[in-house]
Amino acid sequence: MIAIPAIDLREGACVQLVGGSYAAERVRVDDPLEALKQWRAHGFSAFHVVDLDAALGKGSNADAIFRLTAYERGLTFTVGGGVRDSDRVEAVLSGGAACAVVGTRAIEDGAWLADVASRYPGRVVVAADVKGREVVTRGWTEGSRRDIRDVLAAFEPLPLGGLLVTAVHKEGQLSGVDLPLMREVASTSRHRLYASGGVTTLEDLRALAAAGAYGAVIGMALYTGRLDASAVAREFAG
């Protein structure tokens, strides 16, 4: 399993939110490139970038994303946030991302997801953001009334690059991961699982690895120093 630092973008800065609430910003790094350089210095080579403004339709951090993906050859980026049409998927991939992460429209429009996945096989990751067991959309602000198991079943035939499952109820709270949820996803889906939400300790990472996760996205615990970045990189940087 690989550990993947999160670089969440808001108003041009790198931020960390508590519980997915835009009113509960706990960490802010004015220049996202400085965050990338920090994690790179510890040995990380894969990064998860999210445009929070685009996810809520409040703007775009496209310039900041390009600066990140263009920084150094050989790094791997998954990029998401407001990726809701085919042109945006193409732009993200041509801009240097290994995979484009699609959420809201992928959940709401299965025909579109099937089309874009077939056009870019292995390069589209679906974000399934979960509160309890319900998949939520539009920057975690709306419920879909769909259980995670039902959503996963619809994805099985598609040539996806993976599933990014975020336990929103754990996000940013430094209270540990939703291990039963991640075990269920890993055991029922053939796609790579990128687990997110609540990673706090090395034991959390080891448990996710044992559960079958391909990658773990880490945010708050790294930015606050709760997790020793060097120790994580030594064991899980890939």
Mean pLDDT of 56-80: 95
For 141-160, the pLDDT digits (tens) are 565 567 889 989 999 999 99
Residue 231: its pLDDT value, please?
97
Active site residue 8: yes
pTM of the model: 0.93
Catalytic residue among 53, 129, 178, 204: 129
213 CB-contact burial (10 Å; exposed 0-12 / middle 13-18 / buried 19+): buried
Query: Residue 168 pLDDT > 80, yes or no?
Result: yes
User: In whole angstroms, what is the distance from residue 34 CA to residue 13 CA?
Assistant: 10
Active site residue 109: no
The DSSP secondary-structure symbol of 83 reads -
Query: Residue 178 pLDDT > 90, yes or no?
Result: yes
User: In whole angstroms, what is the distance from residue 51 CA to residue 12 CA?
Assistant: 9
In this structure, are strands 142-147 and 13-17 parallel, antiparallel, or unpaired?
A: unpaired
Structural domains present in the chain: 2-237 (3.20.20.70)
C-beta of residue 163 within 8 angstroms of C-beta of residue 189: yes
Catalytic residue among 8, 53, 178, 204: 8
Residue 139: its pLDDT value, please?
55
Non-local CB neighbours of 22 within 8 Å, separated by 6+ positions: 10, 52, 56, 139
In this structure, are strands 134-137 and 124-131 parallel, antiparallel, or unpaired?
A: antiparallel
Residue 135: its pLDDT value, please?
83
The DSSP secondary-structure symbol of 157 reads T
C-beta of residue 182 within 8 angstroms of C-beta of residue 165: yes
